[in-house]
Structure 1
């Protein structure tokens, strides 16, 4: 096999490097061993130590340095430590960067970093810094009520912080959940002591002696804070690709073989844009990594592998000593005109199940609590097969089925 260089030590890059074995060189700027970024919130909550979420080591070389330039003409990766690594095939798995909102007072003239007390929540270093900063009673403001913000708020509350979550839209996790399930998540956070402000936009932060001590909302309301967490989403990390002259739109553009505009260079994971879509989720990243590893190792049975997209399912577990909350969401959770909606709520068991059917196809759903039936529903959605015509009985069976994840 030819020499393959992989830039990026997230789930996708590490999976490719591990599959390729000794033929791969893995380059990553983080000083830590590769880890499962999905579980960072559990480290912040104190449930796991950093070593628990470490990924299996890669058998090839692992260079802990930052790749600063790709020389396509000489097929070299130039690194911050001065090393130059030649490649036959290059894999960009550079991931994504946190979105930092343009808040007044956040970026000081001439300062190259965030003021004290402000944290992104993207890397192990972010997680460890937050862990050091939070003790019982610490006032924490989380900006952003998506999946990442909800996970961060829950983790901080479990550490004993006094948490306020500020969400610009009308409800938490609005991209993944319908209104009823979003309300259940908000209620769960409230039971942990999290104060939630929706339809609120942060417009400024107040810095005192180099640290952010105030968060000012658009209506003038001011929140006191010791720690401020920015969980405003992520943006594909495409700087290396752009500087190398590769085609970049929202992400690094790839085809069904995960090739970029240079056939010797591939891209996978959060940085890649396939068929107009950037996923930014673990499952598509791992699927892309496996397809690419099969291609690079020559696996062809039963046919040459191709990546044709991923239908993603979001799962989240919010532990609580008395009342944990499990949820899953997939596809289109909001119906269009003409769609059928089937909903089952069991107040006694604390469960909520709602699916959207378009014609004879299941197009999306949300399940909260007792997720035994999520496997069967997800299969019906992923295969996109016609539901049996029997007055809705098969669908009701799926909704009430408690077996098989």
Structure 2
């Protein structure tokens, strides 16, 4: 294969690495140009590193054989070349943009005009961000989380697991927005409280107070100050489209792609966080892997492969909490199990170790006209399940606690199929009829 007859991927995140690995297995040569060092990693697992559950090396991704480090500064579709920051030029036959996303930095009073943030104010998007936060979040230190979406809530749980005193500040009335119904949101709040996390909703952060370039407080719209020297920006992310836009490719929120994940230039594709398909820019993990599988098949000769879009559920896992909450210096992620206690019959009851809080929400969590709603709650198990049924199909729902019982429901929703006809109630976990 001549130098021009090769695939070049810009971006060594989950999407780019997944594509490169598939192409390698299919015998299609590929070169990956990655910006971050020292090696690729799975950004989805950053909260596990922040919590101290995993060391950084555990989330590393296998490096493709032809991985070259260095920032890409320009794409020239006319010459089919990519220019790097060191001045080198890479030719391509097919280019794949997997440039990912960048953290959203809100407009706040007190921030300077430049890109530099005050000391103590951190985004949470990269491994470097994660390691800086982990080093700064000492036990007992107060930390403000700006944003109560999935990223903010999981970051709050991770920092609480390190013993930090965490406050989540969210501008809307509810955590996680429209992803949850009020009951599930209440369960999230209750678990955060058991972790020692304070939640302030309907509180938009509008400014920061600094002294000598270092954070001292965040300010909300009602003029209240939350005094802290450490705050996390968890306000979402935006597709990184600068290279594509400067190359003249069609861009809206993300780089526009068709069902072949092809941009407005037939020799350039895009996938992952930076791509926008059928009006939807997708986040990491499941859509990125699905897109990588589709594009690898196409670039390896399967002309019929097409990407039809994804409907990934929202998944949330928080560290376990003790009955009395997490105290500073005693991470919830490693809280000791309760001792056995004696039951009424004089024999010991089973010890119960604290368990993580698991939640998944999918589709529409509020019923529309003509919909049927099925609910199940088990306070003993800490379980809650709600499914919105439209006709004979699940339109959406939310599951909290033991998620195994809901796997069939989620599969039916993803495949747009009728509810499972198994003869068992998919909302209820099996009853344990075993002996003591």
Normalising to structure 2: TM-score of the pair? 0.87
Corresponding residue number in structure 2 for 1:93: 98
Corresponding residue number in structure 1 for 2:29: 23
Q: What is the deviation of 1:112?
A: 3.3
Corresponding residue number in structure 2 for 1:372: 404
Equivalents in 2 of 1:315, 1:236: separation in Å? 21
Report the secondary structure of 1:140's partner residue: strand
Q: What is the deviation of 1:359?
A: 2.0
8 A contact 1:327–1:367 mirrored in 2: yes
Equivalents in 2 of 1:402, 1:131: separation in Å? 40
8 A contact 2:409–2:419 mirrored in 1: no
Corresponding residue number in structure 1 for 2:86: 81
8 A contact 2:364–2:397 mirrored in 1: yes
Equivalents in 1 of 2:178, 2:430: separation in Å? 26
Matches within 5 A, 1:385-396: 385-387=417-419
38, 43, 61: which one aligns with 1:37: 43
Report whether the alignment pairs 1:350 with 2:382. Answer: yes
Matches within 5 A, 1:156-167: 156-167=159-170
Matches within 5 A, 1:142-153: 142-153=145-156
Normalising to structure 1: TM-score of the pair? 0.94
User: Cα deviation per residue 1:211-247 (whole Å; 9 max; x = unaligned)?
Assistant: 1111111111111112110000111110000000000
Matches within 5 A, 1:235-384: 235-299=238-302, 304-320=304-320, 321=335, 322-384=354-416
Residues 388 and 127 of structure 1, relative CA distance in 2, 3 Å threshold = closer
How many residue pairs end up in the alignment? Answer: 393
Corresponding residue number in structure 2 for 1:400: 428
Report whether the alignment pairs 1:56 with 2:84. Answer: no
Equivalents in 2 of 1:86, 1:361: separation in Å? 49
| Superposition CA RMSD, Å | 1.7
Residues 119 and 388 of structure 1, relative CA distance in 2, 3 Å threshold = closer
Q: What is the deviation of 1:364?
A: 0.4
User: Cα deviation per residue 1:176-217 (whole Å; 9 max; x = unaligned)?
Assistant: 222111111111111111110001101110001211111111
Report the secondary structure of 1:70's partner residue: strand
In the TM superposition, structure 1's runs of 4+ consecutive aligned residues that sit over 6 Å from their partners are: none
Report the secondary structure of 2:377's partner residue: strand
8 A contact 1:146–1:175 mirrored in 2: no
Report the secondary structure of 1:18's partner residue: helix
Q: What is the deviation of 1:337?
A: 2.3
Q: Which runs of 5+ in 2 are unaligned?
A: 321-334, 336-353, 432-436
Q: What is the deviation of 1:385?
A: 2.1
User: Cα deviation per residue 1:245-285 (whole Å; 9 max; x = unaligned)?
Assistant: 00001111000000000010000001111111111131011
